Structure 1
Amino acid sequence: MDSIRALREYPVSKVVLAVGEQKTSGERIARKIAEKMAKELKTVWDVRIVEIDKKNVMRAASQLVRIIKDEKERGENTILNVSGSLRTFAVAAYIAACVTGSKLISSIPLYNERDEEVGIEEIVEIPVLPVDFPGKEQLEIISAVGNGVKSLDELVLKLNPDIKKGSQEFRGERSRISHHIAKLEDIGFVRRRKVGRNVRIEVTGLGKIISEVFACQNSSIRISEN
């Protein structure tokens, strides 16, 4: 609670409290605490509670990116506070902060002479590494792959619905997209696996997060144009 109150030094208008999706014994306690905090914080800020997958780091990061995206569409920036959080959630928040360029903060606990935690000593901002995003064409390919395609040919036609399969134009596009897929696989955004005679293409967890950010950037551009 102290680490949230300390946010008064930031231009905060809303607080989003994250609880785990999993209904574990420890999570029941966390939910009660979150509900109590929400009641107290509502006197100062707009507050809501969201469920985050605290066991699956990549899914949690994707969920956080979606929250950041929604706030961005409203013209708001997001500060991620990982004070006292589970390690898995802290890692997910760090990934989300890296790919969205959001601020990430944590608190340094304050202890008394009996080594009891009595509050916070300081709020620190954690530096995040900038992400080298794929180019526009590669981002469009990731988006087109979506939940997966059965073959490279399917992906080519999905990206170019007007060209005829087997034509010279089709073969040229197939070669170009195959080159991009190889690069995207090397950096961990997609993976290929053989299924029968075909090679299925799927987006990885990291690729899905990048796709979320790409969608966020596009929506921001549309908003600014309007």
Structure 2
Amino acid sequence: MTYTHVVFVGHHKDRLMDSITRYRKYPIHRVTLVLGSDDSSGERISRRVADKVKHELSPLFEVTIIRVDKRDIMNAASQIVDLIQKEREKGYECILNISGSLRTFSIAAYIAGCLTQSPMITSIPRYDDADQEVGVEEIIELPTIPVQYPRKDQVQLLEAIAGSSGYLEDLILQLNPRVKDEPDVFAKERSRLTHHLKKIEEMGFVTKEKIGKQVMFSLSPLGRIYGKVCKGDRVNS
């Protein structure tokens, strides 16, 4: 298995270069530099750093630069999951390197890494006698927090919510249309789905809203990202 080293670019070139070239646990074939999509003054600094890093790494690796939303953490996490899934479709796993990243990037990358179970690294900067940063003192592998994943029937329910109005009655008929003319079976199915919906709501995958006398369920941002992970796992299995 070969890897794409996904590097979230901040303002510290030496720290990024050290973390990329010194980390050799996995065979690296490609490097993807991740920048923010906005045009802030800080982001302009990051772009200059990315250009210098790309110039120095290009003789060694295939290097690309992409941009993601650094202001909306869940949207950024979703875009990072998209990247990981695309790389897996090409036969690459991803290492997420947040050694020199901005805080929002770090959080978004960690969420994406935990959901996809991708290896992640950060680093401790090294300073000279004048207290100037001069690279990396130590590279640290980050543990992934186990995510409480839904069971198979709960995943089917998430997929049904994504493809329907989200109203409970509609979900019942979508998942089991045969109960339409059987009131007793319909009631049992309603009770079963209500139980599962409560569970996946507690996990943070759906939100609930009461509209009149009806209850509507929608995928939360985390639920939408998890849907991408499930879809990617089916494609790559």
When the two structures are superposed, what TM-score results if normalisation uses the length of structure 2? 0.84
Please, which runs of 5 or more residues in structure 1 have no aligned partner? 222-226
Residues 18-27 or 82-91, more deviating: 18-27
Q: Equivalent residue for 1:167? A: 182
Is 1:4 the counterpart of 2:20? The answer is yes
Identical columns (%): 44
CA–CA separation in structure 2 for the residues paired with 1:158 and 1:39: 53
Q: Equivalent residue for 2:233? A: 217
**SS of the residue aligned with 2:23?**
helix
Please, which runs of 5 or more residues in structure 2 have no aligned partner? 1-16
CA–CA separation in structure 2 for the residues paired with 1:197 and 1:219: 39
Q: Equivalent residue for 1:201? A: 217
Amino acid at match of 2:18: D
CA–CA separation in structure 1 for the residues paired with 2:195 and 2:59: 55
CA–CA separation in structure 2 for the residues paired with 1:147 and 1:163: 19
**SS of the residue aligned with 1:22?**
coil
**SS of the residue aligned with 1:13?**
strand
CA–CA separation in structure 2 for the residues paired with 1:116 and 1:147: 54
**CA RMSD after TM alignment:** 2.0
Task: Say whether the 8 Å CA contact 1:190–1:204 is kept in structure 2.
Answer: yes
Amino acid at match of 1:2: D
Residue 147 of structure 1: how far off its partner (Å)? 7.0
CA–CA separation in structure 1 for the residues paired with 2:186 and 2:55: 59
**SS of the residue aligned with 1:119?**
strand
Cα deviation code 1:169-203 (max 9, x no counterpart): 44443332221111111221111112234322111
Residues 87-96 or 163-172, more deviating: 163-172
Aligned length: 220
Is 1:73 the counterpart of 2:86? The answer is no
Q: Equivalent residue for 1:224? A: none
**Matched ranges for 1:40-119 at <5 A:** 40-119=56-135
**Greater share of strand:** 2
Cα deviation code 1:3-61 (max 9, x no counterpart): 22223553111111111122222212222322332233221111221222211222211
